[in-house]
Structures are given as structure tokens and as C-alpha cells.
């Protein structure tokens, strides 16, 4: 199923109301009510009111009183597409600068204020827009408006050269972590250079080219702000539980006096074309050869967007697609798919396949199969069933995405920014429902058949013989604009009609109400715990089976995951494709999976389709096919995935750290995905044996969140009453290895752009109200929040990393403490020194009284955000079920927080932060980092992974 990007991402809400122009009563002077949406009876809708200030700021309000929280979003219609050639990365760099304090908000205070208020926050940048958002308890709303208005109107007085340099380094670290140190990380930016004309706004990466970041100056950033960050280029959207009149008064107070910025025009749209097919290639530190093909199509909201989306689904949208049949099922690819991502200025029909080395891995062969799949589509044509499954899934997604205030707010902001209309849901539903067979056939011939394309091959280093075809295109040298920004007007400081330096004082925190739950049992004794959530007509059901990877002998590591994968395939009655088709026509999903301590079956369904969905669950659970062809394909995919993951530094670090903590002889010390050796020797009989051991009623517990009442819901589970089998117990856990003190373990990753650092030790098992929970609180100021000591030091002060953190992770039997970061290779030793210094200081001196106040306020108030969505409610129920907790355990946690003493937490720090008990793991380029690591005075041991 396509990730509905631009216009269709907006379908996180179904809007079916009508728009009216009401009177201006109770609206502050200077604020104009533009329109209001009201819903009709029995229709899924979202209510909103749209206002505009005299300075051009658009304000959208959405009331949702289901939870005591608010979500604030400020979206600016500026992204990488507004940059000039050779000046890339400004929009994203500026996103970072917006968190560095403003005239009346101190350095680092933005994160501290929101976190201390119990909220979450972030900002994101793409090619077309930048947004900033916070979700907080509703008593903190005025404070959020104060913060957002101050950086909109008063950022420049606080923008210093020093802050600029730190954030430029942070962005470089982010690029190194997300692009340069990641398999296939540089693929898309190389691809876009070939796909778009020279100088096209999408031809450079959002994060920027390194040379462009180096070229930037603080003055460039100041001018970028002046050009694009005026209120007339912004939409402020607020959703949640609030008093509308009060909010309008606050918006008027904080935003109205910010001057309007330069005029911003909607960018011109023109179709991208190619003169001929372009072949490009690159070598990378990867295992699986990858081919990516794309055809230029239209732009977002073009009349042909919807049928092109349908075409993408038919060609490569899952297990019923032609790509799956011809590439994945036949074993030529480990993964393959087709999508039609759209942006404001351009869309593309994008196809990819990860070649299976077991079939040779030659991308020439894979490309041929892709072309054969396209030809097969032309021969078979389009069926009504093809369209129906996409339309049904589209409608289902619309309803499922109604489940959070953030999703609703983001949708309103998105649609307003790009279409000037918050309500596009009904329009989008209608245009997708209207797609016909002829429409899909027409767009295929218009944009795909015999049309030029870009074909990119990414192959392992030294394996250029695997490319699809020799390169016939080289990107021209980039243009460099003489100035970074154009159309800037002189900066005029906004007037001050009140003292902005005083942060608003929040009212009393809202009372928290945990979900009301009910308990029941099936006739066979399987426990069911549920809660009713009436916001959407949906069911989120999870069947948990105690066991998972922990139940497997370490020599068979990967078996639990392989078995779950097999249960996602065919049954004795139907093929994988037939089952997938049946679920798609219901708008449902059924997914088997496995983790450290459990296997599970996740079911998402519209309430109206639950009975038919559960029939498919029962078929998969009770009548698995366990076919040899499925097993061979799934096993090969798991082996190739394991080999692929070994090129990821973070996977290497995670695997090595677990091995150090718990040993190769324990399932806790070996990846749940297994190793190349353990998975290779698994057989279909092993899968059948584990299925019989794991998928028993005695191991099962069920969690459900639904709009149905318990009495209506429980009979729909009656088919599971025939499930039998006793529970199983774990074998005794293997003895853990002795940790070598003052030792650095090194995993060599030649050519790594960054080093991944893990520092830690074994620690506490999970408990909700005991020492584990108190240790979590103790660590919060050290490494548990953005403005923790570790992150402020390594990221904000030193510019070594994109992010650094520490925390306790607890399982049923044991746990660990870990401090971690990905850092620039050339500061690996220095970063370790800073980690050690911060942990040592924290152990010896503990936290301050101010840090204690911060953690109390942050953790206690954040509970208002914990139970909003069905997924969050299900997680809460599972915690009660898994750890046999009282539903009142959150009240006990609140009482613990209220009564925390500094001395108690500092004693925990003295006990658990002892560096002599910790080991250091580094994954990086040995030849570069080893000489300096030796200077730390630790023993250095090179670690070889299985």
C-alpha cells in the first residue's frame, strides 16, 4: 500500500462536514474569522475554525476534548526547494537554529520549558515546508504560544556566530549519521541529481551538500530568516482541549504585533521530463545490490495523481502485486516494491528491488524482470478488483488515522499550507473513488510505457560487474548562486507592547484519567483485557504469546522470528496472495511477529469487518501452510537481511553490546534475528516444532482497544475457544560473562564516517514502582531528556554528535544501563572522555535541586500524553497484563515522584553509575581511532562478531 505522501498524507482525518462563514462575535479586534467547519450527523469529520491576523498569520483551531492535552504546530511554507543552487541545507540548518533561544527565551530553554511542562517537541524539514510542534498538557498552552511567537518574531537578536557554528557541526553530524554512515544513505541524493534538471529545487538534498554547509555564513542564516519566516508565510494550528476565546486572546497578544515579512508566492509547477534513459551507479558498503528506477510523472494534486497511485499499487504494492510475484516470490529479490511519492512540485513512479545474491545478484537480470513485470501489466490490464482493494484500504487508512490530535493538527496545517484549504478529506476521498480502469490505463501509457527513466545501481564495494548497465550520465558541476538569499527586506525589530521576558505561569495541571478497563476470559482460559475507545470505529487487537526468542535454544537463534514470518505466508486453504487480497478488501491487517520475550499477532480492523478479519486470523493460526517453497524463500530473506545488517554500524553496536552483557551462550546475548550460522541450519521441521511449542492457548493473552462494548466484542472471539495447549516455561538462563573492568572493546568498521559508542553494564530487571523505576528517574537529568547533561555537552557544547543519551532498559529477568552516541570519527576519544567525565561527576556529586524539580515536573505532567491513541491504551493494558500490575500503578508512580528526595536519588547514582563496573564498546574505523583510544589508559580488545 502506498505511503500517501503529499495530498494523501492529509488523510489522517476524514473531513465530511460543511464550511460556513459565521459571525465575528467574541473574536479579538485584528483577528478575522475566515471560515468554520461543522460536521453532519453520522459522518466522520473534523471541526475547525480558520482565522487570519492582520500580519497575514493563518490560525486554525480544532477542538478535541477527549484528552487533557493540546498540540501546537507552526508550519512555514519554506523548505529546501526555496534554497538557491549551491546554497543547500539552509532550511534544515535554520530548523536547528530555531531551538537555540530567542530574545526573551534563553539558550537551550525551549527544550527545557517544553520537557519540564511534561511535553514533547520537535521540528522537521522537507523540500517544501518546515514545521515546529509541541504536544503538552492543556494547562501549558499559553507557554507554548509564548515560545513559538518569540522565535517567530525575536530570533535574530539571539542568533550568535557561536550558536551558528555549533549547529552547523550538529547538522554535519546528523548528515554523517543518517547519510554517510548508513547503507544506501547517499543513494537518493545521487539519484535526484540525475532525475531532476540542473538547478531544480529537488536536485539537492534537504540536509545539504557538505561544501554548501561549509560555505554558509551566520549572515546568510539571518537573511534566510528575514526572507521566509514572516507570519504571512506561516500557519499556526492548535488542536486539543482548550477554551477557544482564551486561545484567540493569547494568539492576538503574542503574534499580532510581529511584522509581516516579504511577499511569498506559490512556486511555479512544471512537469519534469527526461530526454533519454539515464543509467548511474555507485559502490557502497552494502551486502545486497539495489536497483532503483523512476519515471517522472506529475505533481501533487494533479488530476493524474490518483490513478498513478493506483497503478503503483498494482505494480508493486505488496504481496498481491506483480513485483512481488515476479521478483520476491521467485527469489530474485529479497524485497521489491513500487510507490508514487508526490511533492509540491513533482511526483515520480519509483521502483526498487534488493537483489538476492543467492540468485547471482546481477542487477541486469533484476532490471529485466522489472521490465517484464511492466510488460505483464500491459498484457493483463486493470481489473475492478485491483481498484477496489486500493480504494477500500484508502478509506480504512482514513479512519485509522483519526486517532491522535497531532495527526489531525498536522493534516489541517498541511492542507492549509499547500492548498489554502484545511478541509481536503472529502475531496480526496471522492477523487480516489472516482478513478476508473480507463484512468489507470491512460496514465500508464502517458507516463510509463516506453518512457525515459533513471536507473540507479548500488552495489557492494568492488562489485561493479553487478550494475544494471554502464553509466551514461554524469551530473554536471553544481551551480553556485552569488547570494544565498534573494528578496530580503530590511530587518525591523517588532514593537513590544508588554514584557515578553516573563514566561507565562501555567495553571493547575489537568487530572489524569487512565483508561477504564475490563477483564474477561475465553472458554479455554485465555485472558482478555480491554478498554472502550469511541473516537473511531476501529479495533486494535494483539494476541501475545509468552516465549519468543527467550524460548529458543541459543543454537537455534532466529527460529522465533522465522516461525512468525512463516505464519504470515500461506495456509492449508489459501495462498499468501489470496490471503493478502482478502485482507486488503476488508481494509484490515494481520501481522505475526516475535521479539525477545514474546511472539504476537497484531490485528487492526474496522469494527464492521472484525468478524471476517478474525476468520482469517483463525485460518492463519490454526491451519498454517508451512510449505517448503515459502520456507526456502523466507529463510533466504532472513539470511540476506542478517548479512545486510552487518553493514549498519548501529546494528553492529547493538549486537556486540548484548553479547558483552549477556554472552554468546544466552538468548539474551544473541540477536532475536539469529546469526548467519544459526539461521542457516534451521529446518522446516524446526519451525513446525517451535510453532507447536509457542502458539498454544496456555501461552496466550489478549489485549484489545475497540469502540465496541465488551458484551458485543467478546462473542467475536468465539473462534479462539477451540485453541488448546498448556503454557511452557523457560529454560534456566545461562550464566552471564564476567565484565572486564577498564576495557574498551572495538569492532572494526573500515571507512566508517562515525564511531558508535556504547558505555554500560548489566543492571536491574523491570519493575514499575521499585528500584528500576527510581533508577529511571535518577538517570533523567543525566541522559534521559534532550537537555540532559550528556546531550548538552556532546551535542550542544562540543558539536561531536547529533544526539547522546543514557538510560536503563529492563526486561523480565535482567536489564542493563547504557550511555550511547554516534560521534564524528575524529573526536571518538574526546567524546568518550566527556561521557566518562559526566558519568563520574554525576556519581560523585549527584543531581542538583534544580534538576530534581525539572524531572518531577516533566515526568509527572507527561502522563497527560500517555493514553491518547488506541495504540497507547493497548500498551498500557499490556503492561498491566505482562507484569501483573495494578491499574493504579501509575498513581503509585506519581506518589513516588511527589515524595522523591535528592539524597535517595543520589545514593542510586552512587550505586549504579560506577564506571569501574562498566565496559566501553566502540564501532568504528580501527586504523583511524585506535591510536588515540590507547591513550585513555584502558585495555583495548578487538571484538569479532559471529
Confidence class for position 39, pLDDT limits 50, 70, 90: low
CATH code, residues 278-401+419-466: 3.30.830.10
pLDDT at position 85 is 93
pLDDT > 70: what percent of the chain? 97
Give the per-residue SS3 of 140-198.
HHHHHHHHHHHHHHCCHHHCCHHHHHHHHHHHHHHHHHHHHCCCCCCHHHHHHHHHCCC
pLDDT at position 509 is 86
Look up the CATH architecture of domain 517-722: 2-Layer Sandwich (3.30)
Q: Tell me the average pLDDT across 544-554.
A: 96
Q: Tell me the average pLDDT across 733-750.
A: 93
Count CA atoms within 13 Å of residue 827 on its CB side.
Answer: 16
Cell of 781: 537529568
Query: Residue 24 pLDDT more than 70?
Result: no
Strand order in the sheet with 538-546: 517-521, 527-532, 700-706, 538-546, 598-606, 589-594
Domain boundaries, the chain: 16-255, 278-401+419-466, 517-722, 743-868+886-942
pLDDT 10s digits, 96-149: 999 999 999 998 899 999 999 999 999 999 999 999 999 999 999 999 999 999
pLDDT at position 38 is 75
Confidence class for position 15, pLDDT limits 50, 70, 90: very low
Q: Tell me the average pLDDT across 532-557.
A: 93
pLDDT at position 77 is 98
pLDDT at position 422 is 93
CB atoms within 10 A of CB 607: 17
**Same fold across 278-401+419-466 and 743-868+886-942:** yes
The Cα 921–Cα 8 span in angstroms is: 43
Query: Residue 653 pLDDT more than 50?
Result: yes
Q: Quick check: helix, strand or coil at residue 188?
A: helix
pLDDT 10s digits, 167-219: 999 999 999 999 998 999 999 999 999 999 999 999 999 999 999 999 999 99
Angle at 182 between CA 213 and CA 469, to 5 degrees: 95
pLDDT at position 211 is 93
pLDDT at position 23 is 59
Query: Residue 390 pLDDT more than 50?
Result: yes
548: left (phi over 0), alpha (psi -120 to 50) or beta: left
Q: Quick check: helix, strand or coil at residue 209?
A: coil
Query: Residue 399 pLDDT more than 80?
Result: no
Angle at 141 between CA 859 and CA 517, to 5 degrees: 50
Count CA atoms within 13 Å of residue 647 on its CB side.
Answer: 19
pLDDT 10s digits, 623-652: 999 999 999 999 999 999 999 999 999 999
* Helix, strand, coil abundance in the chain, percent, nearest 5: 45, 20, 35
pLDDT at position 44 is 59
pLDDT at position 678 is 96
pLDDT 10s digits, 232-271: 999 999 999 999 999 999 999 999 999 999 999 999 899 9
pLDDT at position 12 is 31
The Cα 317–Cα 324 span in angstroms is: 8
CB atoms within 10 A of CB 551: 24
Per CATH, which fold does 743-868+886-942 belong to? Cytochrome Bc1 Complex; Chain A, domain 1 (3.30.830)
Q: Find all residues with CB under 8 Å of 814, minimum gap 6, and list them.
A: 662, 668, 733, 736, 762, 763, 764, 765
pLDDT at position 353 is 97
The Cα 944–Cα 946 span in angstroms is: 7
pLDDT at position 393 is 84
pLDDT at position 22 is 53
Confidence class for position 153, pLDDT limits 50, 70, 90: very high
16-255 belongs to CATH 3.30.830.10: yes
The Cα 448–Cα 450 span in angstroms is: 6
The Cα 744–Cα 943 span in angstroms is: 10
pLDDT 10s digits, 271-326: 999 999 999 999 999 999 999 999 999 999 999 999 999 999 999 998 999 999 99
Burial of 573 (0-12, 13-18, 19+ CB in 10 A): exposed
The Cα 633–Cα 650 span in angstroms is: 27
CB atoms within 10 A of CB 476: 10
Query: Residue 8 pLDDT more than 70?
Result: no
Q: Quick check: helix, strand or coil at residue 530?
A: strand
663: left (phi over 0), alpha (psi -120 to 50) or beta: left
pLDDT 10s digits, 888-910: 899 999 999 999 999 999 999 99
Helix 425-433 vs helix 305-316: crossing angle, to nearest 10? 60
pLDDT 10s digits, 567-588: 999 999 999 999 999 999 999 9
Q: Tell me the average pLDDT across 352-360.
A: 94
Amino acid at each position: 500500500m502506498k505511503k500517501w505522501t503529499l495530498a494523501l498524507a492529509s488523510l489522517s482525518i476524514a473531513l465530511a462536514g460543511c464550511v460556513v462563514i459565521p459571525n465575528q462575535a467574541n473574536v479579538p479586534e485584528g483577528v478575522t474569522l475566515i471560515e468554520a467547519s461543522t460536521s453532519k450527523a453520522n459522518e466522520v469529520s473534523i471541526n475547525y475554525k480558520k482565522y487570519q491576523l492582520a500580519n497575514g498569520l493563518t490560525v486554525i483551531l480544532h477542538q478535541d476534548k477527549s484528552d487533557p492535552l493540546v498540540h501546537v504546530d507552526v508550519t512555514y511554507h519554506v523548505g529546501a526547494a526555496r534554497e538557491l543552487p549551491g546554497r543547500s541545507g539552509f532550511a534544515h540548518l535554520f530548523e536547528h537554529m530555531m531551538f537555540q533561544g530567542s530574545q526573551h527565551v534563553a539558550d537551550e530553554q525551549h527544550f527545557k520549558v517544553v520537557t519540564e511542562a511534561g511535553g514533547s517537541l520537535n521540528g522537521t524539514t522537507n523540500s517544501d515546508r518546515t514545521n515546529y510542534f509541541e504536544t503538552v498538557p492543556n494547562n501549558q498552552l499559553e507557554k507554548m504560544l509564548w515560545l513559538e511567537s518569540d522565535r517567530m518574531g525575536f530570533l535574530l537578536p539571539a542568533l550568535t556566530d557561536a550558536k551558528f557554528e555549533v549547529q552547523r557541526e550538529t547538522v554535519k553530524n546528523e548528515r554523517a549519521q543518517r547519510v554517510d554512515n548508513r547503507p544506501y544513505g547517499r543513494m537518493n541524493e545521487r539519484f535526484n541529481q540525475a532525475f531532476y534538471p540542473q538547478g531544480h529545487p529537488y536536485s539537492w538534498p534537504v540536509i545539504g551538500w557538505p561544501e554548501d554547509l561549509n560555505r554558509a555564513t551566520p549572515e546568510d542564516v539571518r537573511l534566510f530568516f528575514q526572507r521566509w519566516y514572516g507570519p504571512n508565510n506561516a500557519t499556526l494550528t492548535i488542536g486539543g482541549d482548550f477554551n477557544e476565546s482564551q486561545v484567540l486572546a493569547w494568539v492576538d497578544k503574542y503574534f499580532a504585533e510581529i511584522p509581516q515579512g516579504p511577499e511569498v508566492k506559490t512556486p511555479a509547477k512544471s512537469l519534469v521530463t527526461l530526454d533519454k534513459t539515464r543509467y548511474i551507479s555507485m559502490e557502497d558498503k552494502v551486502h545486497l545490490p539495489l536497483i532503483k528506477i523512476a519515471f517522472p510523472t506529475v505533481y501533487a494534486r494533479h488530476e493524474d495523481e490518483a490513478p498513478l497511485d493506483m497503478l503503483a499499487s498494482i505494480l508493486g504494492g505488496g504481496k498481491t502485486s506483480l513485483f512481488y510475484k515476479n521478483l520476491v516470490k521467485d527469489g530474485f529479490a529479497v524485497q521489491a516494491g513500487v510507490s508514487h511519492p508526490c511533492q509540491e512540485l513533482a511526483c515520480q513512479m519509483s521502483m526498487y528491488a534488493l537483489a538476492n545474491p543467492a540468485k547471482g545478484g546481477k542487477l541486469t537480470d533484476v532490471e529485466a524482470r522489472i521490465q517484464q513485470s511492466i510488460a505483464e501489466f500491459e498484457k493483463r490490464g486493470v481489473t475492478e478488483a485491483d481498484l477496489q482493494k486500493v480504494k477500500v484500504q484508502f478509506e480504512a487508512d482514513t479512519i485509522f488515522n483519526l486517532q491522535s490530535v497531532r495527526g489531525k493538527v498536522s493534516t489541517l496545517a498541511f492542507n492549509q499550507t499547500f492548498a489554502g484549504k484545511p478541509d481536503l478529506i472529502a475531496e480526496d476521498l471522492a477523487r480516489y473513488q472516482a478513478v476508473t480502469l480507463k484512468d489507470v490505463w491512460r496514465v500508464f501509457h502517458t507516463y510509463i510505457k516506453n518512457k525515459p527513466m533513471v536507473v540507479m545501481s548500488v552495489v557492494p564495494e568492488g562489485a561493479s560487474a553487478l550494475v544494471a548497465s554502464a553509466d551514461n550520465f554524469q551530473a554536471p558541476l553544481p551551480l553556485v548562486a552569488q547570494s544565498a538569499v534573494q528578496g530580503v527586506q530590511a530587518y525591523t525589530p517588532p514593537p513590544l507592547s508588554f514584557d515578553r521576558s516573563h514566561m507565562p505561569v501555567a495553571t493547575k495541571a489537568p487530572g489524569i484519567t487512565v483508561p477504564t478497563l475490563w477483564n474477561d476470559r475465553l472458554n479455554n482460559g485465555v485472558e482478555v483485557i480491554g478498554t472502550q475507545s469511541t473516537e473511531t470505529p476501529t479495533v486494535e487487537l494483539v494476541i501475545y504469546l509468552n516465549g519468543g526468542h527467550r524460548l529458543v535454544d541459543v543454537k537455534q537463534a532466529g527460529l522465533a522470528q522465522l516461525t512468525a514470518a512463516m505464519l504470515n505466508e500461506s495456509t492449508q486453504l489459501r495462498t499468501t496472495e489470496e490471503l493478502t487480497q482478502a485482507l486488503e478488501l476488508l481494509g484490515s491487517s494481520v501481522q505475526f511477529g516475535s521479539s525477545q520475550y514474546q511472539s504476537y499477532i497484531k490485528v487492526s480492523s474496522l469494527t464492521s469487518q472484525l468478524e471476517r478479519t478474525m476468520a482469517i486470523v483463525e485460518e492463519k493460526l490454526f491451519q498454517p501452510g508451512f510449505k517448503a517453497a515459502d520456507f526456502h524463500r523466507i529463510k533466504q530473506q532472513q539470511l540476506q537481511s542478517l548479512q545486510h545488517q552487518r553493514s549498519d554500524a548501529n546494528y553492529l553496536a547493538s549486537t556486540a553490546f548484548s553479547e558483552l552483557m549477556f554472552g554468546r551462550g544466552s538468548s539474551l546475548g544473541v540477536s532475536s534475528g539469529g546469526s548467519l550460522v544459526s539461521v542457516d541450519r534451521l529446518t522446516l521441521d524446526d519451525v513446525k516444532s517451535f510453532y507447536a511449542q509457542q502458539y498454544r492457548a496456555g501461552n496466550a493473552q489478549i489485549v484489545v482497544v475497540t469502540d465496541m462494548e465488551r458484551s458485543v466484542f467478546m462473542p467475536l472471539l468465539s473462534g479462539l475457544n477451540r485453541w488448546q495447549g498448556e503454557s511452557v516455561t523457560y529454560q534456566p538462563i545461562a550464566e552471564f560473562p564476567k565484565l572486564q573492568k577498564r576495557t574498551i572493546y572495538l569492532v572494526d568498521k573500515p571507512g566508517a564516517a562515525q564511531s558508535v559508542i556504547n558505555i554500560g553494564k548489566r543492571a536491574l530487571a523491570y519493575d514499575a514502582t521499585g528500584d528500576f523505576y527510581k533508577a529511571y528517574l535518577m538517570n533523567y537529568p543525566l541522559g534521559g531528556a534532550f537537555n540532559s547533561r550528556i546531550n548538552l555537552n556532546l551535542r550542544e557544547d562540543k558539536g561531536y554528535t547529533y544526539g547522546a543519551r543514557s538510560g536503563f532498559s529492563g526486561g523480565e529477568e535482567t536489564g542493563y544501563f547504557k550511555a550511547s552516541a554516534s560521534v564524528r570519527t575524529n573526536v571518538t576519544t574526546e567524546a568518550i572522555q566527556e561521557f566518562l567525565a559526566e558519568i563520574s561527576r554525576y556519581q560523585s556529586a549527584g543531581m542538583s535541586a534544580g534538576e530534581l524539580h525539572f524531572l518531577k515536573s516533566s515526568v509527572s505532567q507527561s502522563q497527560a500524553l500517555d493514553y491518547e491513541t488506541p495504540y497507547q491504551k493497548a500498551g498500557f493494558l499490556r503492561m498491566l497484563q505482562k507484569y501483573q500490575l495494578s491499574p493504579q500503578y501509575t498513581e503509585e508512580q506519581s506518589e513516588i515522584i511527589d515524595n522523591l528526595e535528592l539524597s535517595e536519588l543520589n545514593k542510586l547514582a552512587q550505586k549504579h553509575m560506577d564506571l569501574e563496573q562498566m565496559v566501553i564498546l566502540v564501532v568504528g574505523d580501527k586504523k583511524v581511532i585506535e591510536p588515540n583510544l590507547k591513550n585513555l589508559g584502558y585495555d583495548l580488545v578487538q571484538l569479532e562478531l559471529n
